[in-house]
Amino acid sequence: MITAEEFLTAAKKFVLISNKICDGWKLIENEWDINQSYISKETFIECGVGDDVSLLKAEYIIFYNLSYGVPSFSFNIWNSSGMLLSLEDVRQLSFISTNPKEFYSIITQQEHPLFQRPYFIMHPCHTEELLTSLQDKTANVIVTFLGLVTPLIQLKLPLEYGLKQL
């Protein structure tokens, strides 16, 4: 478990690295309620093989989950027509092969706690356990957290985030 202050400190450090390597993450800091602060990234991802490639727009949000005391990951992905992808479409985009039942126990679509509109959200129940075991071994909890979740989604995490000199 981490505090909201620890999350915000890690988020600031993460965004500093992002700025240095031009990775596109932004910190949206709420001065009045630290629990409403988050980091976000908008990007485009290619989907498909050969000549059948389409461009998708993705929005990634990492926010502090007050109930679990951990970073939470949420995202939305739209096709080129502007339609939000379905949960099954998102599962098929995953870097790792999972059956629907396993995937749906990890990622669900629900109302975002900060934005009050639908987002795909990675369930935070196991995040606390994983991060607690790694907390003393990590320089930045956001980098460690993303390293754990990126195989499930189309998000590339540059290796520069793990370098100490940045």
State the catalytic residues: 125
> Cα 118–72–21 angle (5° rounding)?
105
Residues 6+ positions from 89 with CB-CB distance below 8 Å: 77
Secondary element (H or E) of residue 103: helix 100-106
**Residue given tokens 């369930």 in the structure block:** 123
Residue 61 CA, distance from chain mean position: 5
Burial class (CB in 10 A: 0-12, 13-18, 19+), 13: middle
Q: Which residue has the tokens 């989950």?
A: 65
Q: Which amino acid is at 18?
A: S
